[in-house]
Structure 1
Amino acid sequence: MSLSEYKKKRNFTETTEPATGKPVAGKHIFVVQRHHASRLHYDFRLEVNGVLKSWAIPKGPSMNPADKRLAMEVEDHPYDYKDFEGTIPAGNYGAGTVYIWDKGTFELMNPDGKSFDKEALRELKSGDLKIVMKGKKLKGEFALVKMKGREENAWLLIKHKDKYAVDEYNSEDYTPERIKAQGEKNKATTKVAKKKVTAVVRSESKNKTARAVHRIKKVYKPMLTTLVSEPFDGDGWLFETKWDGYRAIASVEKHKATLYSRNEKSFNNDYPAVVAAVEKISHNVVLDGEIIVLDNKGRSHFQTLQNYRTTGKGKLVYVVFDLLHLDGNELQHLSLLERKSLLKDVIAELNDKTIRFSSHVLKKGTSFFEKARKQQWEGIIAKKTDSVYEEGRRGMSWLKIKIVNEQEALICGYTAPRGSRKQIGALVLGMYENKKMKYIGHCGGGLNEATIGELYNRLQPLISKTSPFSEKVATNMPVTWVKPKLVCEVKFQEWTGDGHLRQPVFLGLREDKPAKEVHPETAKKINMATTIEKERTLTLNSKKVSLTNQTKLYWPDEQISKGQLIDYYLSVAKYMLPHLKDRPLSLHRFPNGIKGPSFYQKDLDLEQTPAWIKSVPLHADSTGKDVDYLVCNNEATLAYMVNLGCIEINPWLSRLSSLDKPDFMILDLDPEDIDFKYVVETALHIKNMLDNFNITSFCKTSGSTGLHIYVPVGAKHSYDTTRLLAEYIARHVNEELPKSTSVVRAKSARNKKVYIDFLQNSKGQTVASPYSARPKPGATVSMPLLWEEVNEKLRISDFNIHNSLERLNETGDLWHDIKSIKNDLRKVIREIESNAHA
């Protein structure tokens, strides 16, 4: 590894991470940085040969010899990274908050008296580095040992039994000292700073403290919510009012405020009263909240906010629910309750009715939802009390449950008026789905004379000669098409079966949201909060599915439970199920998680299986008996399978209607002790060959170590035909890349090579489904890719059960049209034969 890999992954115009750094002669330093990215982990770094050799430790280092901490080796970091603290902006590699947890010097346990760096590199190469650490928290003897039989970057950090060893240790227990040390320094500051801000500054030593001051960033991206279908109760959750207005970030520095929307539109001129109020705050802060207008019953309505600038009716309020920065301290890594506690004091100190603290209730979400329904609120928000603030991310830590159906939509045109109405009859609405514009209905309700006049003027510069829809849209009156730039908010009764809005009513324009982010928002049937329960029963597809041992850890090092895995699968079910429909499945069961024993099960015990589970009996030539294969066509079956311990989902390549003829030809690229860049190189050679034959192909990560290349063949050819062509392609590419690829199945014969496996093209063979989780460190996922993503930046670890849904919300199913592609293999085979005889 070298700094070139480090630099490739970073945009230094956006992140404040150092690009270089030369070591200071003398003792060799180490640093441990607490890094709250998509998942909390600790970065363990040792200065060797002028750089920081680096490992990510999910559970943090331990002073207990019984704890063998998984440490995943990552790219080398520059020496100056030893001092880095701050927030890596969203959208950048490693986005999240970093602060120094421990630092000091280290020595080799068995020095040879010669070059420190040469000896350290030799021990690292051998996979067994023994050191003595001299830090504030980490002291004494440690060993870094490379794991065998795991991914090539997997190590263990182990504490030796010495005078510093302890019986119990949790890295997270050792952050409160920061509060105590800085608390002594801040006695003379204001009430808020004196009381709580000490939680976010760093202690350098017992007698000397140093405050890490961070400048307010130019832009903070709001954390987003995910829509779920019903309210719930739960320990570890709080519940807030869902305010119906404009989401707004307020950045206040030296009594000068900047108020801006999600898409960075300034609100300073639109809401000067809010700006004036926050500028009275006696601290430098960054607030997150909602600009609303309240009626005389204390309710917020988006339409009232829209009209406020012209009517002045209602009470303008900035309701604040989060605090991201306070007096030089970035707070995103604190828990939500800690941030809200600080925020409450800031707002109380301000004492201005234009700024309101968004209060909450703990645990009791169901009764809070009923209160919201009675008071005719838009809905409620549920948040995990220990959640960090993840800028720009839509995850499962913040959820919304709606009472009123509202949806953003793009204005794609307007119809000619009828009767007494002038200029606009109805708005033609659309939204992006899989990067294509989809018609979702038209809306005439909610349009009055003033609204129509403003809309008409705004739409004139956007008039287009062509429709933005690929489909033909039927309307009652002639249509004027416009470029889909304006976002509006509508309320509606329900979504129809064909994906249209029933009875939409125009509420107003949404100038705070970018057009590209408008997509269908459908509620998830699963509430992610229930994973804290040991047992639960879900109603899915009108079936009661009993789920057991939900707190059992399937990924012990990552602290991911069985319940969280089930929730992941249900969150991506609408994307995954089309790829499973009517395919027999082989069940690979891990009843005790990825570190326990596993086994394959093809034959269902129908006496123990619920009657609603679909299965198909298929004759097995090896035994002469029928085997009852499970078939997963719905969410209920998917949840049932995962509850059995099926971490990964493995379907056949053919469906029940044509079991002898697969839908796809597969090439499975499996690296054996060779860098992943050679997998990418092999994949691109295969694509080039397929392109030359005019064959359309698709690629996904395996979720394990390699890549899967799919060629749709439309169930028109036998397995023998697809296997023969796959073998021809594999051998041809092997001839082009003899040093880095192999077509020999025996592992001993393909060491340090990429095995191009064509034998998967056989009846009964299975491949991990798109979006399947894999029983690998990091809870990685088999993710469909665009071919342009198959490059030197691609990593298997880029996709896991924590970030896959976010990607899907942005891109949709990249393989949604794979079934419509039908490559003619006979034509290709004839071309190959013709060339062979030429």
Structure 2
Amino acid sequence: MATKKKKPRGSLERYDAKRDFARTPEPRGKRPMHARTHRYVLHRHDASHLHWDLRLEAEGVLRSFAIPKGVAWDPKVKRLAVRTEDHPIEYLTFEGEIPRGEYGAGTMRVEDSGTYESVEGYDPVQGLESGEIKLRLFGRKLRGEWHLVRMRPRPGENNESWLLFKAKDAYAKTSPFARGCDFSDAVPAALPRALHFAEPGTREVARSDLASLDDHYGFEPDFEVAFGGQRCWLEVDEGRVRFRGPRAREHTRRLEDDLASIASEARGIAAACVILDGVLVAESEGQPVPGDGDAFAFYATDVVYYEDWDVRPLALRERKRVLGALLTGSRSLHAVLPVERDGDGLASVLTSQEHTTMLAKELDAPYRSGKHDAWLRVRLDRKAQSNVRERKAGAKSTTKGGATKGRARASSPARESKTKRGSKSIESEHHTVRITNRDKVWFPHDGYTKGDVLDYYARVAPLLVPFLRDRPMTLRRFPDGIESEGFFQKNLPEHAPDWLDRLPIESRGSGRTIDYLVIDSAEALTFAVQEGGFELHPWLSRRGSLDEPDFALIDLDPKTAPFRDVVEIARFAHELLERASLKALLKTSGQSGLHILVPLARGYDYDVARGFAEGIARMIVQRLPKIATIERDQRRRSGRVYIDYLQNRRGQTVVAPFSVRPRPGAPVSTPLDWDELDDDLDPRDFTIRSVPAQIEKRAALMRVLEKGSKALDAALDRLVRWLES
């Protein structure tokens, strides 16, 4: 006889009674539903007082707690959480503006969401009775174990008061700059929701350059002073301040000397992580001057990243709003905000000060890399000054070279010689690849030629091509050998044959479409090497599931640390993975480090892969703090091995197994047996000469990538409990 389903005990009566659904956009409370999953949402509720609402799916409703100060990652910090009325399941995805006069009037938006599992005996159903709830959250931002403990009620107190705090686990953060949800109020209000998520430490910046000097533009402009100084980026990351770009190391060192005031004011920005684009300028008596001055200031002209948001896709006018909210009243850190739109007033002032140019930037343009016609330098001679408004009235942009030509295609930095000496063709049933200059020496110290490298790849192609298939490929090309300056290439060159497999992907940074090469055959591999692209950098994910990597990457990077420390860390990582019943591929990086690839089943996105790799990295550091670190700043590593988990993100690449590296000896990134981790291991022993003789052994090791794990969360939790035992 079938048992009758137990009815959910959640109630939506209080929720319904508090709301007028003719006015509020909130979902109407329906009959509580049976929970098939355990989901949660964290809302940012900007009502009469800013607070956060944690809602847990249980008994057909969302059990809700209001958290006035947001969550904290430090286990020592306990935050008040006030129990509120149950909410309907539909509230998991609700975002909107609750009108004035309604209960909870203000802006409600999703700060984080995901799933949770309960520690046995401490689920929300039992915990609401016993007064203690223990959860493991698997969200985009909130991860690891969290506890809710009910406080004893004070006399006359009607609301249930609880304490929310982080458990001591691999996700806990004790830094004074560890971020919870208490973001500054002014800036997020200016940020649209349709932004790309950017993890701390993964932020890439590529210079956005001015187009050629021009007297014409066809867009609504923002006019700015063309400051004389050093163009660079200023990055603040959890209290650490540094410059990026030209002469970055020199300027960063000066932050402790004559640029100390900039560092001090940068640390006062209301954000844990931010990257500003601007100009480092000499000043005299508080005014910018050419050449030397008595002080220095940073004039921020743009903001590239703010907290977890990539703001480059925003229009310039929106980025300027964010910039203005971030920088207020500083002496050495200035926000360059929009000025008179017609430009006449600024042009007149600058001309009187003997400036020769000013800048015009398109207010509706996103932040773009490289040269483009959204940023122009405008002449400031008398004739130009009198015609600023006339230029604005021009129809289409007629930038130098003609607007109809569009953006210039970047030319290849190098060309192959047209000589036919030593050339031959590689033919297959379907395609022919013409090989030239086989005798050209690519590795002068060893005498290895282009032909030697081609022959090596022909031997390993049966193992390598299946790994590369369907992955977007970035090539690092050295057409004139390793002593020449190499370059990275994502876009297939124009002369590439039509039979090559291409995968067009729109860049989330620049908006450009990149035609990636996909190496799906030995002939495609030969073409890449013929072009000098013998160092192979594929994505971690494949076509059809570009947001889902098929392995998580843990990179052990020694820099100045001894290789024996890398070996010891790899051994402990292997012990962790074995205890979690997880398989992994170990390989040399081809240089001085080791890579660990943990295969994943379909369905895991990059956030999960990165969270898993971070958990493993923190466990290693917890056990081996003297030789291992996750510190991104190389100066702070103190000779320890850097465990890099941040490469687990869309668009990031890893050196492929069996890829040749541009180092003396022609080393190869080689799969290893875990038993090879001993004091005699030397990555330099694996070269284009030695590896082909070991093909059968190395092929067997690659098979571990064929089946991915489906239980990452449970595995990580088992490891946390083992370490704490």
TM-score (norm 1): 0.35
